[in-house]
A and B are shown apart, each in its own frame.
Chain A
Amino acid sequence: MKEKIEAIKAAVREQIDNAEALQDVQNIRVKYLGKKGELTAVMKELGKLSKEERPAVGQLVNTARTKIEAALADRMEELKQHEMEQKIQSEKIDITLPGRKPVLGHMHPLHLTRRCMENAFLKMGFSIAEGPEIEDDYYNFQCLNFPDDHPARDMQDSMYITDKILLRTHTSPMQARTLQAHNPNEPVKVIVPGKVYRWDYDATHSPVFHQMEGLIVDKGIRFSDLKGMLEDFLREIFGPETKVRFRASFFPFTEPSAEVDISCVMCGGKGCRVCSHTGWLEILGCGMVHPNVLRLNGYDPDKVSGFAFGMGVERIAMLKYGIDDLRLFYEDDMRFLNQF
Chain B
Amino acid sequence: MKSSLRWMKEYVDVDTTKDPQIFADIMTVAGVPVEQVECWGTDIKNIYTGRILKIIKHPDADHLVICQMDMGDKELTIVTGAPNVREGQVVPVAIHGAILPGGVKIKKSKLRGQVSEGMLCSAHELGFDDSLLLPEERNGIWILPDNTPVGVDAVDFLGLKDTVYEYELTPNRADCFSMVGLSREFAVLGNTTAKYPSIEVDECEQSISGNVIVTNEAPELCNRFASRLLLNVKIGKSPLWMQQRLRKSGVRPINNVVDATNYVMLELGIPMHAYDYDKVSGHHLIPRRARNGEVLKTLDGVERILTSEMLVIADPDKACGVAGVMGGFETEVTGKTTAVILEAASFKGSTIRKTGRALGLRSEASARFERGIDAEGCIASLDRCAQLLQKMGACDVARGIIDIYPEPQPVTRISFTVQQINAYLGTDIPGDQMVSILKTLEFGIEQGDNDSITAIVPSWRGDCTEMADISEEVARIYGYENIQSTRPWSNISEGEEGYHHEVTEKVSEILSACGLNETVTFSFMNHESLKKLLFPAEDPLYTAVPILNPITEEFPLMRTTLLPSLMDMLVRNQAVKNNAVAAYEIASVYIPKQLPITELPYEKKQVAGVLYGLRDTGIWPGKIAKYDFYDVKGIVETVLEELGISADLESTEFAPFHPGKAAKFVKDGKILAQFGELHPAVIDNYDIAGPVYAFEMYLDVMIPYIDFIGNYKKVAKFPAISRDLAFLAPVGTANSDIQEILIKDGGEYLESVHLFDMYQGKQVPKNYKSMAYSLTFRSAETTLTDENIQMYIDSMLEDLKNNLDCTLR
Chain A residues engaging chain B, CB cutoff 8 angstroms: 97-98, 100, 102-108, 110-111, 115, 118, 121-130, 132-136, 148-149, 151, 154-156, 159-162, 165, 167, 187-189, 195, 197, 199, 201, 207-208, 216, 218-229, 231-232, 245-250, 255-259, 288, 290-291, 301, 305, 329-335, 337-338
- Cα distance A61–B520 in the bound complex, in angstroms: 88
- Cα distance A335–B581 in the bound complex, in angstroms: 10
Is B712 in contact with chain A by the CB < 8 A criterion? no
- Cα distance A11–B549 in the bound complex, in angstroms: 106
Within 8 A of A (CB), among B439-493: 463, 466-469, 471-472, 475-476, 480-481, 483-493
- Cα distance A135–B599 in the bound complex, in angstroms: 9
- Cα distance A108–B547 in the bound complex, in angstroms: 27
- Cα distance A221–B489 in the bound complex, in angstroms: 7
A248 touches B29 (CB 8 A): yes
Supplied contacts A104-B515, A224-B427, 18 more A-B pairs, CB within 8 Å: A100-B621, A105-B518, A107-B512, A115-B505, A122-B495, A127-B497, A128-B498, A149-B349, A151-B171, A159-B549, A195-B588, A218-B489, A225-B426, A225-B487, A256-B475, A259-B33, A329-B520, A332-B519
A247 touches B33 (CB 8 A): yes
B484 touches A224 (CB 8 A): yes
- Name the segment of B332-340, B405-413, B550-558 touching the other chain: B550-558
Within 8 A of A (CB), among B501-520: 501, 505, 508, 511-520
A332 touches B521 (CB 8 A): yes
A189 touches B426 (CB 8 A): no
A228 touches B516 (CB 8 A): no
Q: Interface on chain A toward B: helix, strand, loop, or mixed SS?
A: mixed
B597 to chain A, nearest CB (A): 5
Contacts of A220 in B (CB 8 A): 423, 489
A105 to chain B, nearest CB (A): 4
A115 to chain B, nearest CB (A): 7
Is B573 in contact with chain A by the CB < 8 A criterion? yes
A103-B515, A134-B558, A338-B517 are contacts. A201–B486 as well, Cβ < 8 Å?
no
B468 touches A256 (CB 8 A): yes
Is B22 in contact with chain A by the CB < 8 A criterion? no
A108 touches B171 (CB 8 A): no
A111-B518, A334-B578 are contacts. A222–B573 as well, Cβ < 8 Å?
no
A98-B620, A134-B545 are contacts. A110–B488 as well, Cβ < 8 Å?
no
Contacts of A148 in B (CB 8 A): 350
Leading 8 A-B pairs by shortest Cβ distance: A224-B426, A248-B31, A149-B350, A222-B426, A256-B472, A250-B170, A248-B476, A228-B485
B575 to chain A: closest residue by CB: A333
A282 to chain B, nearest CB (A): 10
A97 touches B31 (CB 8 A): no
Is B576 in contact with chain A by the CB < 8 A criterion? yes
B159 to chain A, nearest CB (A): 26
Is B537 in contact with chain A by the CB < 8 A criterion? no
- Cα distance A221–B426 in the bound complex, in angstroms: 8
B561 to chain A, nearest CB (A): 16
Instruction: Return the contact of B490 from the options A135, A189, A333 (Cβ within 8 A).
Output: A189
Contacts of A124 in B (CB 8 A): 495
B552 to chain A: closest residue by CB: A201
B444 to chain A, nearest CB (A): 21
- Cα distance A195–B596 in the bound complex, in angstroms: 24
- Cα distance A97–B775 in the bound complex, in angstroms: 39
Contacts of B486 in A (CB 8 A): 222, 224-225, 227-228
B478 to chain A, nearest CB (A): 11
Is B425 in contact with chain A by the CB < 8 A criterion? yes
B519 touches A97 (CB 8 A): no
A207 to chain B: closest residue by CB: B551
A104 touches B490 (CB 8 A): no
A207 to chain B, nearest CB (A): 4
A191 to chain B, nearest CB (A): 8
B267 to chain A, nearest CB (A): 24
Is B173 in contact with chain A by the CB < 8 A criterion? yes
B636 to chain A, nearest CB (A): 15
A248-B476, A256-B472 are contacts. A337–B517 as well, Cβ < 8 Å?
yes
A229-B488, A334-B581 are contacts. A107–B518 as well, Cβ < 8 Å?
yes
A105 touches B517 (CB 8 A): yes
B522 touches A334 (CB 8 A): no
Contacts of A129 in B (CB 8 A): 498
- Cα distance A288–B484 in the bound complex, in angstroms: 15
B21 to chain A: closest residue by CB: A278
B605 to chain A: closest residue by CB: A130
A128-B496, A149-B349 are contacts. A161–B548 as well, Cβ < 8 Å?
yes
Is B527 in contact with chain A by the CB < 8 A criterion? no
A122 to chain B: closest residue by CB: B495
B518 touches A337 (CB 8 A): yes
B485 touches A106 (CB 8 A): no
- Cα distance A189–B354 in the bound complex, in angstroms: 38
- Cα distance A189–B495 in the bound complex, in angstroms: 8
Contacts of A333 in B (CB 8 A): 572-573, 576, 578
Is B713 in contact with chain A by the CB < 8 A criterion? no
- Cα distance A288–B424 in the bound complex, in angstroms: 9
Contacts of B354 in A (CB 8 A): 154
B583 touches A334 (CB 8 A): yes
Contacts of B475 in A (CB 8 A): 223, 248, 256
B468 to chain A: closest residue by CB: A255
A105-B514, A106-B517 are contacts. A127–B495 as well, Cβ < 8 Å?
yes
A97-B621, A104-B512, A224-B483 are contacts. A133–B603 as well, Cβ < 8 Å?
yes
- Cα distance A107–B173 in the bound complex, in angstroms: 43
B30 to chain A: closest residue by CB: A248
A104-B515, A128-B496 are contacts. A248–B549 as well, Cβ < 8 Å?
no
B582 to chain A: closest residue by CB: A105
Is B779 in contact with chain A by the CB < 8 A criterion? no
Instruction: Return the contact of A337 from the options B493, B519, B551, B576 (Cβ within 8 A).
Output: B519
B498 to chain A, nearest CB (A): 5
Contacts of A207 in B (CB 8 A): 522, 551
- Cα distance A122–B497 in the bound complex, in angstroms: 7
A108-B520, A199-B549, A208-B523 are contacts. A130–B501 as well, Cβ < 8 Å?
yes
Is B214 in contact with chain A by the CB < 8 A criterion? no
Contacts of A338 in B (CB 8 A): 517
A271 to chain B, nearest CB (A): 10
B553 to chain A, nearest CB (A): 12
Is B84 in contact with chain A by the CB < 8 A criterion? no
Contacts of B468 in A (CB 8 A): 255-256, 288, 290-291, 301
Contacts of A228 in B (CB 8 A): 484-488
A217 to chain B, nearest CB (A): 9
Is B172 in contact with chain A by the CB < 8 A criterion? yes
A230 to chain B, nearest CB (A): 9
A208 touches B522 (CB 8 A): yes
A223 touches B425 (CB 8 A): yes
Contacts of A167 in B (CB 8 A): 547, 558
A222 touches B490 (CB 8 A): no
Interface pairs (6), CB distance under 8 Å: A106-B512, A133-B523, A224-B484, A224-B486, A248-B31, A330-B520
A223 touches B353 (CB 8 A): no
- Cα distance A97–B622 in the bound complex, in angstroms: 12
Instruction: Return the contact of B487 from the options A188, A229, A288 (Cβ within 8 A).
Output: A229
- Cα distance A329–B517 in the bound complex, in angstroms: 13
Is B598 in contact with chain A by the CB < 8 A criterion? yes
B483 touches A227 (CB 8 A): yes
- Cα distance A103–B710 in the bound complex, in angstroms: 28
Contacts of A156 in B (CB 8 A): 357
Instruction: Return the contact of B491 from the options A104, A159, A187, A224 (Cβ within 8 A).
Output: A187
| Bitwise interface map of B from 582 to 620 toward A, beta carbon under 8 Å scored 1, else 0 | 111001101000001111110100000000000110011
Is B569 in contact with chain A by the CB < 8 A criterion? yes
- Cα distance A248–B524 in the bound complex, in angstroms: 37
B601 to chain A: closest residue by CB: A134
A161-B547, A337-B583 are contacts. A224–B485 as well, Cβ < 8 Å?
yes
| Bitwise interface map of B from 333 to 361 toward A, beta carbon under 8 Å scored 1, else 0 | 00000000000000001100110010000
B548 touches A256 (CB 8 A): no
